[in-house]
Amino acid sequence: MREIQAKLITGAVRQMCIDANTDIGDDILGAFDRAKSTEESPLALNIIGQIEENATIAARDKMPYCQDTGFSCFMVDIGQDVHVTGGGIEDAINEGVRQGYNDGYLRKSILNDPIERKNTGDNTPAHIHVDIVPGDRLHIKFSAKGGGSENMSQLAMLKPSDGLDGVKKFVVKVASEAGPNACPPIIVCVGIGGTFDGAALMAKRGVFREAGKPNPDPFYAKLEQELLARVNDLGFGPQGLGGRTSALAVHVEAAACHIASLPVAVNIQCHAHRHREVTL
C-alpha cells in the first residue's frame, strides 16, 4: 500500500484550478493557429485575434480566460494500492477547489440546490468521478466546465437501425443548435454506446482530452475528422458570426452497449477548453 497525504491532493488541485483558468493550453493556441490558415471570413479572423489577445492578457495578468470559471469537474483514477491518509479524497479535492477559487480570484458559480439556488460561495461541491485502476498512483484530471456550452449539450437514445448515419446526424444537429450560444469555436465531445449515463460520461471525458488528440481506434479517429468537417460546413464560425471555424475538434469515445440500444451523448465544450492533470 502506497500512502498519499490528503493535503498533497488539496495542494495539487488548488494549483490546477488556478493554472487551468488563467493559462489556456498550447492545444487550444495551436488549434487557433491552424484555424487562421483555413478561415475565410475577415470578421472570424478578427474574432480569433481577439481571443488570442485575451489568452495573452489572461496568462500575463493572471486573470481568468473567461469569467465563467466553470463547474470544477474531476476524473480521478485511483490505483488500488493507494491509501489516502489524513482525510477523505473527495474532501481533499473540494478543499483544493475552495482554496484555488478563493486564492485565484475565480468566480464562484455553484448553487446549493437547483430549485432553491443559493450560491455556496466557494465553487464546491466539485463534480468528481472516480475510477479504480491497477497500480499505486493517483491520477487527477481537472476541467473548468463552462455553463453556456454545457447548456447546449444533448443525449439521444437512438434505435440500432438508425446506425452510424443516425449518430452523425444527431451530432451535427446538436452542434448546429449550439451555434453562437456555446461560444464557438467549440469542441464537440461525443459518447457513443454504453448506457444512458455511460454515454454522457464518455462524452464528458472529451472535455479532459487535449484538443484534437485523436481517438486511438482508427475507425473513431476517422469519424472524428469527418464530423469535424461536417460541423465546420455548418458555417456558423467563431462566435456564430459566420466563418469556416465552427469547431476546433471533435472527440469521440465508444463503448459496448445493449442489443436494444444506441445511446449518443454530445457534451459541447466552448473554446475556453481549460484542463489540467497531475499524477501523484
Partner 1 sequence: MTQGVAQPLKIKVPLSREDVQRLKAGDIVHLTGAVLTGRDAAHKRMYDLLEKGEPLPVDLKGQVIYYVGPAPAKPGQVMNSAGPTTSSRMDKYSPRLIEEGLTGMIGKGYRSDAVVEAMKKHGCVYFAAVGGAAALIAKSIKKSEVLVWEDLGTEAVRRMEVENFPAIVIIDTEGNDLYKIGREKYGKPG
Among 9, 16, 65, 140, binds partner 1 (CB under 8 A): 65
Give the rounded distance of the alpha carbon of 118 from its chain centre.
Answer: 25
Under rule CB under 8 A, residue 240 binds partner 1: yes
Residue 54 to residue 274: CA distance in whole angstroms: 14
SS3 of 256, please? strand
SS3 of 73, please? strand
Specify the residue, 11 or 243, whose C-beta has the smaller distance to partner 1. Answer: 243
Under rule CB under 8 A, residue 254 binds partner 1: no
Under rule CB under 8 A, residue 181 binds partner 1: yes
Specify the residue, 118 or 259, whose C-beta has the smaller distance to partner 1. Answer: 118
Among 96, 193, 243, 263, binds partner 1 (CB under 8 A): 243
Specify the residue, 199 or 268, whose C-beta has the smaller distance to partner 1. Answer: 268
Query: H-helix or E-strand containing 98?
Result: helix 89-103
CA distance between the termini of the chain: 14
Minimum CB separation from partner 1 for residue 33, in Å?
14
Q: Retrieve residue 18's grid coordinates.
A: 488556478
Minimum CB separation from partner 1 for residue 242, in Å?
2
Q: Helix and strand tally (H, E) in the chain? A: 8, 10
Minimum CB separation from partner 1 for residue 257, in Å?
26
Output DSSP code: residue 180: G
Specify the residue, 5 or 124, whose C-beta has the smaller distance to partner 1. Answer: 124
Residue 6 to residue 46: CA distance in whole angstroms: 46
Under rule CB under 8 A, residue 30 binds partner 1: no
Which residue stretch of 92-100, 153-161, 178-186, 211-219 sits at the interface with partner 1 (rule: CB under 8 A)?
178-186
Minimum CB separation from partner 1 for residue 73, in Å?
18
What is the DSSP track for 168-186? HHHHHHHHHHHGGGG-SSE
Among 138, 237, 250, 252, binds partner 1 (CB under 8 A): 237
Under rule CB under 8 A, residue 87 binds partner 1: no
SS3 of 182, please? helix
**Interior/surface letters 239-264, b for 16+ CB within 10 angstroms, e for the rest:** bbeebbbbbbbbbbbbeebeeeebbb
Binding residues for partner 1, rule: CB under 8 A, are: 40-47, 49-51, 53-54, 57-58, 61, 63-69, 105-109, 117, 119, 146-148, 151, 172, 179-183, 230, 233-237, 239-244, 270-272
